[in-house]
Amino acid sequence: MSDPQRLTIDTPEGPIAALHWPREHAPRLVFLHANGFCANAYRQVLAPLSESYDVLTYDLRGHGRTALPADPAAIKSWRTHADDLMAVLKALDDRPFALAGHSMGGVISLLAAARLEAKPAAVCMLDPVILPFAVYATAHGPFWPLASRRMPLRVGALRRRNGWESREAVIESYRAKPAFARWADGVLEDYLEDGLVESADGVRLACDPDWEAANYAAQRHWPIPAAKRAGAPVHVLKAGVKSTVMNPGPLVKAGASIDTLDGASHLLAMEKPDACADWLKARLDAAFT
């Protein structure tokens, strides 16, 4: 598996840490990670694609090695991350490109595509977060601060441990958890390489649990109109179990195609990176042919 180059992309709000598998003259794939993770967690998905495409992924605001401001009280929707993606795209050279992402990263790609003048060749989403319309409507109302406090993912993030004496202690602890038992070999190590940062007492999570929780609650966006305005084919790979594509009907009506990866959960990119890479390559090959 080829190793990416590490680079920094300058944006109006500050530097963004990125991984790049360069391929001269090839179309580009820009891939965004899920909430709470980092770009390096997807190496096994993205490295095989670099044989055909120029592949770039980066750490979202508040994640990994990116040090943009990440105030949990300030984020209200994922348009904040879409703004960052648009700034990244503006800093890159002009060539045909596609957007892709996992979970929150997929929705961010969709939100940005709807606003871009130069449209991507495709938008490919690995189990994006597509919630019932009532959730997005409630998120704009006065009772959302109270309602969002009961979101299971937000509650789980706030309870997350965030401090260990060493990286080895984190790996030992995580390997003992059932949630990581389904991950492909090496993915946990890839994630923790940039998902941890040094602290005074050892190591802590690069994505602060308060920021992760705030992203789960920041639902003042509606992905379906974005799918209609994407200006490109929209493809979804839905998890076979525990999918966050909770409202697929409107996506299909908006023109999206939906496939299902049987036997995989929402963390399908960690569990079956080869299958995700194959699915992405097929969609990219069709888009750029």
Is 244 inside a domain boundary? yes
C-alpha atoms less than 13 angstroms from C-alpha of 157 in its C-beta half-sphere:
23
CA atoms within 13 A on the CB side of 102: 31
Identify whether the C-beta of residue 272 lies closer than 8 Å to the C-beta of residue 261. yes
Note whether residue 157 is domain-resident. no
3-state SS, residue 237:
strand
Average pLDDT over residues 132-139: 93
CATH of the domain at 269: 3.40.50.1820
Give domain status of residue 63, yes or no: yes
Quick check: 267 pLDDT over 80? yes
Residue 214, domain member (yes or no): no
Residue 147 covered by a domain: no
pLDDT of the residue at 287: 98
When pLDDT is cut at 50, 70 and 90, the band that residue 150 belongs to is confident
Average predicted confidence (pLDDT) for the chain: 96
- 232 within some domain: yes
Lowest mean pLDDT among 116-120, 148-152, 221-225, 270-274: 148-152
pLDDT, one tens digit per residue, over 4-40 is: 999 999 999 999 999 999 999 999 999 999 999 999 9
In what helix (H) or strand (E) does residue 281 lie, and over which residues does it extend?
helix 273-288
What local confidence, expressed as pLDDT, does residue 179 receive?
Answer: 85
Give a yes or no: residue 38 inside a domain: yes
Domain of residue 259 covers 5-137+221-288
Distance CA 138, CA 245 (A): 18
pLDDT at 256: 97
In a domain, 17, yes or no: yes
Please return the burial class of 202, using the count of CB atoms within 10 Å of its CB with bins 0-12, 13-18 and 19+.
middle
pLDDT value at 1 more than 90:
no
- Is this structure's pTM higher than 0.75? yes
Distance CA 279, CA 66 (A): 28
In the chain the first and final C-alpha atoms are separated, in Å, by 25
Name residue 19's beta-bridge partners.
6, 57
Assign 288 a pLDDT band (cuts: 50, 70, 90). Answer: very high
Name the phi and psi angles at 19, rounded to 5. -115, 140
Give the 3-state secondary structure of residue 79.
Answer: helix
Helix axes 187-195 and 167-175, enclosed angle (nearest 10): 140
| Dihedral Cα 276, 274, 37, 249, nearest 10 deg | 20
Please give the pLDDT value at position 274: 98
Quick: pLDDT tens for 179-235. Answer: 899 999 999 999 999 999 999 899 999 999 999 999 999 999 999 999 999 999 999
Number of structural domains found in the chain? 1
Model confidence band, residue 2 (pLDDT cutoffs 50, 70, 90): confident
pLDDT given for residue 46 in this prediction: 98
